[in-house]
Structures are given as structure tokens and as C-alpha cells.
Structure 1
Amino acid sequence: MISLVRTDSENKDFRALVKQLDAFLAVTDGDDHDFYNQYNKLDLIKHVVLIYVDNEPLACGAIKQYDTTTMEIKRMFTSEKARGKGLASQILKALEIWAKELSFNRCILETGIRQVEAVHLYKKNNYKIIENYGQYSGLEESICFEKRI
């Protein structure tokens, strides 16, 4: 049984999944990990979606206000054993719905060019590549996306 839960960054299951995400990114980002990690603090995240399969937390994602019309997608992760089952797309859709309910009309995000599966996920879910924004401007290892919701 699959269930989606809205919560916040204090949720222990979210924090456990983020620990797995950070370990994964430390390997794939290599020397760039510390730079990116500084922008992934959990204390500013108030909107988190978790997916449980048979009561086990297997995927997560979050949104954080970027400006008055835009939410930024953060901390997207699917446990290795649950990949390829469409959970990340379900998380994205749930985050987009929540952002719209909160009166935002756009979602943006950054991922690394080495995150091939993530890039594919965002393109598959109709996110369009945009110029790198904010702290990611000018970074060749980053790729940014947006979607009007």
C-alpha cells in the first residue's frame, strides 16, 4: 500500500531519507559536495512530502519559498530499492499541487549534471531548462529547471 504524507522538515523519516540522500550526493558530487550542501539546510523547509510503501518511508521531496510567486523544489530522493517505480514523479506532482494550493504559480529547482536520472525525471515531468539562478549562476556542474503550475 502506497501513502503520501505531508509534513515538515522535523519529521524523523524525512531526516533519515535526507541522510541517505546526502551520502549519495557526497559520492556523486565529489569535491563539489560541500558547496552544494550549504544550500540544503533543513531548518527553512516547512513543506515536505513523504511516500510510504507498506508503512516504510521510501521517497521524499520538499518545497521552499523562493520568491512571492515561486517555490523551489528541494531534497528529492528515492531509496535505492524503490527506484524505477514512479515514486519521484508522484512526489513532484504532490509538491506542485501543494505549491499551487499555497498560491504559487511556478516551481524551480537545481540538480547536478552528474544526476542523469534526476535530469531525466524533471524533463519527463515537463520541467524546462532555465538559466542557472541565484547561487547556481555560472556553475557548469548545475542545471536548473522550472515549471509553471
Structure 2
Amino acid sequence: MKFEHKKVEPSNSDFQSLVAELNSSLTQITSDSGESSFASDTFDSSKDGCIVVYQNNVAVACGVFRYHESEVCELKRMYSNKYGAGSYLLEQLERYAVNKGYRRAVLSTRRVNSKAVSFYERNSYSESAAYGKYIGVKRSICLSKVLVT
């Protein structure tokens, strides 16, 4: 499978369409769309990154990283509706983040979202200390990965 990607802003229509699919999917899995965890109007292209993945000119995956703290970015709004596109997306987001100076990535997802947890674990993310609004939230799992050693 050949995938291509574009660096976009969160206002991009393909990104918006994929996020709508993500919201629906998350609502079915967790009863929460996750929308409250991402405000596109605070996106800062000098520190943050947004990617849409395409296969045959059709948008099939999206994701964002945001500044979390010095040299650490947080992955948000990760979604794929095509087998293999998620791994490609994650690889591109990690490269993009490294190019912006990040050395580590963190993320949070719901424990009940076992497909997502397994995906991140397969891609070398491991459970880490809860951060921010996820501290003390038992339904969430926080994961991280060193991008640059």
C-alpha cells in the first residue's frame, strides 16, 4: 500500500472529515468523542504539527502533535480508517516532531480503547506517568516514547 501525506492546518477539510469519523468512533467505544481535548483554534504552526494521510488521493488518516513541554510533544486526534495508514501516520508525525525539536512524545487514550492501546504498544510506546488533566483519571492510560536518544 502506498500512502502519501500532507502537512496541513486543523482547518483543512480532509482533516475535519476524518476527525468527524474519529469522534463518532470514539463515542461508540468510550461514550465520549474526545473533542474537548483538542481546540484547533490554539494550534500554533511554529510548535505544533498536523498531518493527513492519503491513499489514491483519498484521505485515510490524520493526527496532530502539540507542544507539551520543553522537547516533549503530545499526540492528539490520531485516527485511521485504512489498514496500514495508522503506522505510516505515526511515523510521519514522529519525524515531523523531531524536525521541530521534540525528543519525546506523550499521549493519553482510554483504557477501554484496547485497539488504540495495542497500536501504540506495537509502535514502541509504553505506559508512563499520567500528566495534566489525566492525573488520577483511572479510565485513561498515558503512554510515551523517546523519539531521539
Scaled by the length of structure 1, the TM-score of the pair is 0.90
CA offsets per residue over residues 72-125 of structure 1, 9 Å max, x none?
00000012xx2xx22111111111111110111110000111111111110011
SS in 1 for 2:26: helix
SS in 2 for 1:146: strand
Displacement of 1:28: 1.5
Q: 1:92 aligns with which of 90, 95, 119?
A: 90
1:71–1:108 Cα contact (<8 Å) kept: yes
Q: Which runs of 5+ in 2 are unaligned?
A: none
The AA in structure 2 aligned to 1:73 is L
Scaled by the length of structure 2, the TM-score of the pair is 0.90
Q: Which residue of 1 aligns with 2:71?
A: 69
Displacement of 1:132: 1.3
Q: CA RMSD in A?
A: 1.3
Displacement of 1:7: 1.1
1:4–1:51 Cα contact (<8 Å) kept: yes
SS in 2 for 1:126: coil
**Would you say 1:58 and 2:41 are equivalent positions?**
no
Q: Matched residues, percent identical?
A: 27
Q: Which residue of 2 aligns with 1:49?
A: 51
Determine the C-alpha separation between the residues in 2 that align with 1:37 and 1:141: 17
Instruction: Tell me the matched-pair count.
Output: 142
Q: Which runs of 5+ in 1 are unaligned?
A: none
Q: Which residue of 2 aligns with 1:110?
A: 108
Structure 1 residues 1-149: aligned runs within 5 Å: 1-30=2-31, 33=32, 36-45=34-43, 46=45, 47-79=49-81, 82=82, 85-149=83-147
2:3–2:88 Cα contact (<8 Å) kept: no
Displacement of 1:39: 1.5
